[in-house]
């Protein structure tokens, strides 16, 4: 009877030793299970944080980096990096290296330089914490993760959350609810680059969105984009005959690279009469 009782216990203990142990990175560090050095690889988004992890344990660890984890730069002028996706780091040895996906949450600070150090904490901004937990596992693309964060942290327009996949529209709605920002009809595609002084510069290059208008009688339709002073920036429709009254729409795409900052207007005319206008901002 004794041997039959002991054997399952031995098997159970062996199984437990071989199974990876899951623990959050912060818990592992707080309990001295691992020693971690954290550095920037240069950059402000994507896999821009490098971890070097040492453990005295012979057991395998699965370290969990959680949404809402925040890497604080050692330099006040640098951006801090926010984690918005759960990431599992499998410790296959007593020493290992990992790259962590994270995103700048201070758009006007400098992009961290390669080798700059970080410390790990939890984000204290309640709205950013909610956003991080919302994004995790939703399939949001990298650019929209960054745009959503800046909409919360810096008040950037939700138009920067571009419709790239099915996760984009719900994300944009959530950010509006979270910030109280009113949604707009247009989407803004931007290019970003980092200057030699490590400042992030954005440049709007494309505005898209649906233009809806009502034609109440037959006539010729004209449509152009105007700046705030009435100058024509783009001609879109040059006298298309509409034979009957109708509710019409079209997908607007306007290249705006190099345009001055400010308000612009998509205006629709029936013959010489303005019948519709939609504003967008560059």
Per residue in 169-188, pLDDT (tens digit) is: 999 999 999 999 999 999 99
- Extract the tokens encoding 119: 């410390």
User: 22: domain range?
Assistant: 14-124
Domain end among 124, 142, 174: 124
Task: Give dist(CA 86, CA 101) in Å, integer.
Answer: 9
Domain end among 67, 97, 124: 124
Predicted local distance difference test score (pLDDT) of residue 94:
87
Question: What is the average pLDDT across 73-80?
Answer: 96
Predicted local distance difference test score (pLDDT) of residue 61:
80
DSSP characters over 129-190: HHHHHHHTTS---HHHHHHHHHHHHT---GGGS---STTHHHHHHHHHHHH-PPP-SEEEEE
Establish if 271 belongs to a structural domain.
yes
Establish if 205 belongs to a structural domain.
no
Domain end among 69, 94, 124: 124
Give the chain's mean pLDDT: 92
pLDDT tens for 241-272 read 999 999 999 999 999 999 999 999 999 999 99
Establish if 194 belongs to a structural domain.
no
Predicted local distance difference test score (pLDDT) of residue 200:
94
Establish if 183 belongs to a structural domain.
no
- The answer to whether the CB of 67 falls within 8 A of the CB of 103 is no
pLDDT tens for 188-229 read 999 999 999 999 999 999 999 999 999 999 999 999 999 999
Establish if 170 belongs to a structural domain.
no
Backbone φ, ψ for residue 110 (5° rounding): -80, 145
Question: What is the average pLDDT across 134-157?
Answer: 97
Cα angle 49, 53, 56; round to 5: 170
Structurally, the chain folds into a number of domains equal to 2
Predicted local distance difference test score (pLDDT) of residue 180:
97
Closest Cα to residue 261, out of 235, 280, 236?
Answer: 280
Same domain, 120 and 221: no
Tell me the CATH number at 215.
2.60.40
What is the CB neighbour count within 10 angstroms for residue 235? Answer: 10
Predicted local distance difference test score (pLDDT) of residue 60:
78
Establish if 129 belongs to a structural domain.
no
Establish if 6 belongs to a structural domain.
no
pLDDT tens for 85-134 read 999 999 888 899 999 999 999 999 999 999 999 999 999 999 999 999 99
Establish if 199 belongs to a structural domain.
no
Query: What's the whole-model pTM score?
Result: 0.88
Backbone φ, ψ for residue 279 (5° rounding): -95, 140
């Amino acid at each position: 009877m004794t041997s039959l009782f002991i054997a399952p216990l031995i098997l159970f203990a062996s199984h437990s030793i071989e199974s990876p142990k899951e623990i959050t990175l912060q818990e592992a560090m707080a309990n001295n299970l691992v020693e971690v050095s954290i550095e920037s690889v240069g950059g402000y988004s994507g896999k821009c944080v490098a971890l070097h992890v040492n453990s005295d344990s012979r057991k395998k660890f699965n370290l969990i980096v959680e949404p809402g984890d925040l890497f604080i730069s050692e330099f006040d002028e640098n951006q801090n990096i926010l984690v918005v996706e759960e990431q599992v780091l499998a410790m296959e040895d007593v020493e290992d290296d990992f790259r962590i996906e994270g995103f700048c949450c201070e758009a006007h600070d400098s992009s961290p330089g390669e080798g700059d150090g970080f410390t790990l904490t939890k984000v204290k901004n309640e709205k950013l914490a909610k956003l991080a937990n919302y994004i995790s596992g939703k399939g949001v693309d990298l650019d929209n993760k960054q745009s959503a964060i800046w909409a919360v942290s810096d008040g950037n327009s939700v138009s920067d959350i571009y419709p790239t996949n099915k996760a984009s529209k719900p994300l944009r709605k959530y950010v509006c609810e979270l910030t109280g920002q009113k949604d707009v009809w247009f989407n803004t595609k931007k290019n970003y680059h980092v200057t030699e002084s490590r400042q992030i510069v954005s440049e709007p290059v494309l505005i898209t969105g649906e233009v809806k208008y009502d034609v109440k009688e037959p006539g010729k339709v004209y449509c152009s984009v105007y700046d705030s002073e009435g100058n024509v920036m783009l001609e879109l429709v040059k006298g298309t005959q509409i034979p009957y009254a109708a509710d019409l729409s079209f997908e607007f795409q306007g290249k705006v690279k190099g345009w001055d900052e400010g308000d612009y207007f998509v205006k629709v005319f029936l013959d010489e009469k303005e019948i519709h206008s939609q504003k967008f901002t560059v």
